[in-house]
């Protein structure tokens, strides 16, 4: 009885592990890679910076991956360090993604 119980537990664990492994390999990877590849750098100009809140206001061009036309708006930045050395008026190239329903800058580089 005890051995059967252990065997059942082992089989259940194996089954869970297999399912989990398949989940990890699912089409997620190609889809994510395709999304990254189709994510163009967008032109922007810095209008405002709030480093403490990791916020930046950008006047930006079309953002095709967010289906967003040109406008001026605030973004969160994925990493505060992106704001280092930036100042209002700087021209930048950036990528933005929708993260938890918010527009987030995931890549940002100054244009000189």
DSSP notation for 28-62? HHHHHHHHHHT---EEEEEEEEEGGGTEEEEEE--
Residue whose Cβ sits closest to Cu ion: 73
Rounded to a whole number of angstroms, the minimum distance from the CB of residue 77 to Cu ion is: 14
For residue 15, how many C-alpha atoms fall within 13 Å in the half-sphere facing its CB?
6
Find residue 68's DSSP bridge partners: 63
Euclidean distance between CA atoms 71 and 29, whole angstroms:
32
Give whichever of 20 and 53 is closer to Cu ion, judged by the CB atom: 53
Give whichever of 36 and 71 is closer to Cu ion, judged by the CB atom: 71
Count residues near Cu ion (CB under 5 A).
3
Residue 98 binds Cu ion, judged by CB under 5 A: no
Q: Which of residues 43-82 bind Cu ion (CB under 5 A)?
A: 68, 71, 73
Rounded to a whole number of angstroms, the minimum distance from the CB of residue 89 to Cu ion is: 19
Residue 104 binds Cu ion, judged by CB under 5 A: no
First to last CA, the chain: 74
Q: Which residues bind Cu ion (CB under 5 A)?
A: 68, 71, 73
């Amino acid at each position: 009885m005890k051995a059967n119980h252990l065997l059942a537990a082992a089989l259940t664990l194996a089954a869970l592990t297999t399912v989990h492994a398949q989940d990890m390999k699912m089409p997620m990877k190609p889809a994510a890679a395709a999304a990254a590849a189709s994510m163009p750098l967008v032109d922007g100009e810095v209008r405002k910076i709030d480093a403490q809140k990791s916020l930046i206001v950008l006047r930006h061009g079309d953002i095709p991956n967010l289906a967003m036309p040109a406008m001026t708006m605030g973004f969160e930045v994925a990493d505060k360090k992106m704001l280092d050395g930036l100042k209002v008026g700087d021209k930048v190239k950036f990528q933005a993604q929708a993260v938890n329903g918010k527009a987030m800058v995931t890549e940002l580089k100054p244009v000189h």
